[in-house]
A and B are shown apart, each in its own frame.
Chain A
Amino acid sequence: MLKILKYSFYDLLRSKWTLIYFLFFLLITQGLLYITGDEAKTIVGLLNVVVILCPLIATVFGTVNFYNSREFTELLLAQPLKRRDIFIGQYLGMTLSLSIGYFLGVLIPFVIHSITYTVDYSVLSILLFVGVFLTFIFSALSFLISLITDNKIKGFGLSILTWLLLALVYDGMQLFLLSMLDNYPLEKISLVMTFLNPIDLSRVMLMLKLDMSALLGYTGAVFNKFFGSSFGYAISLSALLIWTVIPVYFINRISMKKDF
């Protein structure tokens, strides 16, 4: 598995897409730090970029990469190798290269920034973790979708649809539901709904570190109590972990049975 991981990892590094991804985040973070001169503002600016773009890039990249390396996959399948090793190895190789691109792209400007200013690493580390998790989750989802659908166009469409659903439509539905049922106590429902969407969950985890005073308003206190505690954070992190593990488990299961 490690060997396959290594190959697909190097393959992606060679294709320069990871480099472009890395440079994109490097530029955006450095640019925001330069313009605002303040790390808190930069993280606010990065919040929507990370929460929306990381899943999108991971989705697109996962699908494209899967279909492009199909011949390589078929070649590997002919070898005496475990299917689990082939697919999980490829998946990890791709995700790791993307994650490293993102991680370093955001981290390096902050490290440079920290030479002259003090940087609060607690918020930054959440931002970094959340981005990496989202990359893992969405590349797994797109990998899974591509594995199920042999048709390129259909697979691509489905992956983008999944992203759209979780990034945009879900929030709309949540808002609709909340305003329809506003005579009922809704804190618990919205809490549960947040956990069911990794993008929302990541956003809330970050937001609670950033917009403390607004969230300490009347209802916000409930959320703050939950997410602000270390217990809440542990639960949120494990929810993200579950979101990663489930698609990977299905990748493994489906790849066992799939007829190529």
Chain B
Amino acid sequence: MIRLVYILLIVLSFPVLADTHIVCSDCHIGKVSNAVDMSERGDTIIIKSGVYTESLIEIDKPLTIIGENFPKIKAKNGEKIFHIIGDSVTITGLEFMEVTRSFTEDRAAINIQGGDYISIINNRFTNTFFGIYIAKSIGTKVIDNRLISNNRIEMNSANAIHAWSSKKLTVENNYVEGHRDGLYFEFCDNSIIKNNHSYRNLRYGLHFMFSDNNKYKNNIFEENGAGVAVMYSHHIEMYKNQFLNNWGQSSYGLLLKEIKDSKIHYNLFKGNTKGIYGESAIRINIFHNDFVQNGWAMQMMGSSEQDTISHNNFIQNTFNVSTNQNAKNYNIYEKNYWSDYNGYDLDKDGIGDVPHRPVKFFSQVLGYTPEAIILLRSFFIELLNFIENIVPVLTPENLKDLQPMVKQIDNDTVSKHI
């Protein structure tokens, strides 16, 4: 009996047997790579604060690597630092630096190649080429990281968080700045991307392709070179994101190209050259969003069909909706609030009695002659807009909101708090 208890105790204490290795400059172990080499499955490595110059550390077993007071790991020769091929690796509390650019390989501070259930939590990345590079991974979590680079040229820079051919990723609470693309997903399905802040990246704040069934919640995409562009995906859900101040010649708050069966709800689009640009965006519900002070709130090309645009606020945009069709419209616009609506509501049911036509004559003209933008707000143009509003010639006759709201809708986006 007692023997049995002993055996039980031994069996139960196995996890405790996992070793802890401490790395510091004057410890027994002075290098992270040595600690990784000598540790067994499930061991913990604690890195004391200091500066370590290392690269090409390959991890092929479950490990927990913890930094105390953000020890700095500088890439030796600018090469990639961690190369993870094993599963269940946790990396937390480190600061990665000086991974230099390469035109022949995708150098990243943390490079995950096939390892599943990796956790990368609360790290800092300063001027790393790629920050976190995830390939062929399932269930990986990237949480609370700060990735800051000071790139100037798009060609010479790389993505902050780059994921390829992965599933069930969680990307949460990260701050990315100054990379080529802030968040990049290609062939990544069933993932959750939330509470991230993507700021001043050279190309896109968020960029994904062929990535289905993903959820994007509470993210902020701000002042990125070309805004946010998402392509060739379906069943996307975007809730409560903010698309702010994406200014520029080809900059979009949110560019939808071949996006199907998706939901875009409760987002805020503010101060963008183009709020939403839709090309072959099909069966998309755009509900309860706030479009505030954009150049064009929405630009829906003729290839976008069966979209429903409802309960949105369009406030002080230079143009609310524009399209390149002038014959027929295949999308539904209903129950939106348009700040330039000048109808009336005699029966006081909160819905305007006169339909609103959000497409203006002048925005159609600009489609043909962009240079005419110099006539914006000219008295003559206002006159033409007025005439077109009464007798539509250039604008699709059936593109109208039959039930425009008279009062601004309380969409509970963050716009109230700004």
Contact = CB atoms under 8 A, between A and B. Distances in A.
Interface of A: 41, 47-48, 51-52, 167-169, 171-172, 174-175, 178-179, 182, 186-187, 189-191, 194, 200, 203-204, 207, 211-221, 223
B249 A216 contact: yes
A172 B379 contact: no
A117 B100 CA distance: 49
A211 B373 CA distance: 11
Interface string B374-401: 1111111111000000000000000000
B370 A200 contact: no
Contact of A213 (B271, B372, B374, B375): B271
Interface stretch (B45-53, B166-174, B292-300): B292-300
27 contacts: A41-B316, A48-B377, A48-B379, A48-B382, A171-B378, A171-B381, A174-B374, A174-B375, A175-B380, A178-B372, A182-B368, A186-B369, A187-B371, A207-B377, A211-B318, A211-B377, A213-B293, A214-B294, A214-B295, A214-B296, A214-B376, A217-B273, A217-B274, A217-B373, A218-B370, A220-B373, A221-B248
Nearest to A179: B369
Contact of B373 (A47, A171, A212, A219): A219
Contacts of B274: 217
B80 to A, nearest CB: 38
A175 B375 CA distance: 8
B365 A204 contact: no
A140 B211 CA distance: 65
B133 interface: no
Given A175-B372, A194-B374, A213-B318, A218 B379 contact: no
Given A48-B379, A172-B380, A182-B369, A223 B318 contact: no
A213 B373 contact: no
Interface string B321-349: 00000000000000000000000000000
Contacts of A171: 375, 378-381
A216 B273 contact: yes
Given A48-B379, A215-B376, A218-B250, 20 more contacts: A41-B316, A52-B379, A167-B379, A168-B383, A171-B378, A171-B380, A175-B375, A175-B380, A179-B365, A182-B369, A186-B369, A203-B378, A211-B318, A211-B376, A213-B272, A213-B293, A217-B273, A218-B249, A219-B371, A219-B373
A161 B369 CA distance: 28
B239 interface: no
Contacts of A189: 371
A168 B373 CA distance: 16
B289 to A, nearest CB: 17
Nearest to A41: B316
Contact of B295 (A52, A194, A216): A216
Nearest to A204: B374
B380 A213 contact: no
B125 interface: no
Interface in B230-271: 247-251, 271
B319 interface: yes
B376 A207 contact: yes
Interface string B137-168: 00000000000000000000000000000000
A168 B369 CA distance: 19
Contacts of B294: 213-214
Contacts of B251: 216
Nearest to B373: A220
B273 A213 contact: yes
Contacts of A51: 379
A233 B379 CA distance: 23
A98 B385 CA distance: 32
Contacts of A221: 248-249
Contact of A179 (B249, B368, B377, B378): B368
Contacts of B378: 171, 200, 203
Nearest to A168: B380
A169 B369 CA distance: 19
Given A171-B379, A213-B293, A223 B374 contact: yes
B371 A178 contact: yes
B365 A175 contact: yes
A207 B295 CA distance: 12
A47 B377 CA distance: 9
Contacts of A178: 369, 371-372
Interface in B93-113: none
A52 B377 CA distance: 11
Nearest to B370: A219
Contacts of B377: 47-48, 203, 207, 211
A32 B192 CA distance: 46
Contacts of A167: 379
Contacts of A218: 249-250, 370
A194 B376 CA distance: 12
B375 A215 contact: no
Contacts of B316: 41
A204 B373 CA distance: 10
A217 B372 contact: no
Nearest to A211: B318
Contacts of B272: 213
B318, B368, B371, B378 interface centre (most CB from chain A within 10 Å): B371
Given A175-B365, A221-B249, A214 B379 contact: no
B248, B250, B379, B383 interface centre (most CB from chain A within 10 Å): B379
B370 to A, nearest CB: 4
A187 B371 CA distance: 6
Going nearest first, the 4 A-B pairs with the smallest beta carbon separation are: A214-B295, A171-B380, A214-B318, A219-B370
Contacts of A215: 295, 373, 376
A108 B295 CA distance: 31
